[in-house]
Structure formats: structure tokens, C-alpha cells
Amino acid sequence: MTLNATTSHTVGPYYHIGLTWLNREDLTVPATLGERVAISGQVVDGNGDVVNDAMLEVWQANAAGKYDHPEDEQEKAVDPHFEGFGRVPVDAEGRFRFTTIKPGSVPGLAGTTQAPHLVVLVFARGLVKHLLTRIYFEGEALNGDDPLLACVPAERRSTLIAKADANGVHQWNVILQGTDKETVFFDY
């Protein structure tokens, strides 16, 4: 029997057809515990052109720092009103906005502590595989000790840090390629 290679396919734009039922701009419900934070930004390519068919998938721990996952065996409180997951599409201008809670810190490898962060997967046309990045919060005391953030060159860390504007909305953009401002993406 001969196995023939199949052609590669990009991760978009067809996910909009089958995954829209999971799209949510508010990852909380009124009973969700923790500090609400709004995240807003735009997805652009290396030339600054809008990517108007991207989707962000957000994964995170709850306000206590516990994931809604059976492998999270921490003794921290579970919030039955928070899933820690959501999909956020961009609009025609590549803009997105979502509300969630600020997660607590979570354990890292070898007894380290990870600063509060959101894990973000980026899906868009032209990508053969989704991209993995994180959102950290400006001014968070634990950022300086986060083991993954410490692996990122100092001059590139700002691409991972959401900064609160005058209205308290955390601004964070995704730049896909081509410049020294490209968002840091991680291999997995």
C-alpha cells in the first residue's frame, strides 16, 4: 500500500463557518468571581494591513489561579461560573474586544510561579498552524519573576504586555510578522 501526501491547508478562513457558536465577547457571567478586565486591540500583518478574518482563542486560569481542567490538581478554589475559555472574532477592521477576569498566578516548572496571563491562540487565513502567544498585564508584580517572560528578550516583552488606557481597557495588538514589533509567538 502506498501512502500519498495530502496537501497542506491553512487554518482559516473557514473556521468562521463552523465555530461561530463558540464566539463570546464576554467570558464572564454575573456570578463569576474576580476582577473584570476588558482587552481590546487589532490584528495586523507585518505591513500594518488589517487581518479581518482572524479569530483569537483565549484560555486562562480563574481568579484564584486554577484552570477548569481535570489535570489541574491544585488545592485552589474552583469557580463554577467560569470556564476559562472563549473565542473572539475580529471585525472588518481587524479589531477585537473581550471581557474576562484577571487570572491568578499559576505554578510553573521546577517550583516557579507564572505571573497572571492569558494564553491566546491566533487563527487566520494563510497560517498553516495557529499561533500561540500570551497576554500579561502591565504593572503586575509577578511579571519580573515569570519564567517564560524571562526567556523573551527584554526589548520584545512589550509585545506580550497589555497596557491599561485612561478608561481602564487593556490595549494589546497582534502583529503577525515582518517588523521588530512582531508579537512574540511560542513554539509548542
Q: Each residue of 114-160: pLDDT tens digit? A: 999 999 999 998 888 899 999 999 999 999 999 999 999 999 999 99
CA distance 177 to 179: 6
pLDDT of residue 180: 79
pLDDT of residue 36: 97
- The DSSP element (H or E) to which 41 belongs, if any, is strand 36-44
Give the pTM: 0.89
Residue 30 has pLDDT above 70, yes or no: yes
Query: What mean pLDDT is reported for the chain?
Result: 90
Listed in sequence order, the DSSP H helices in the chain are 15-18, 147-151
In contact, 12 and 53? CB cutoff 8 Å: yes
In contact, 149 and 115? CB cutoff 8 Å: yes
Percent of the chain at pLDDT > 90 equals 74
Residue 28 has pLDDT above 90, yes or no: yes
CA distance 167 to 29: 21
Q: Kindly state the average pLDDT of the residues 57-61.
A: 96
- Render 50-66 in DSSP notation, one character per residue: B-TT-EEEEE---TTS-
- Render 139-169 in DSSP notation, one character per residue: T-GGGGG-HHHHHS-GGGGGGGEEEE-TTSP
Structural domain 15-175, CATH architecture = Sandwich (2.60)
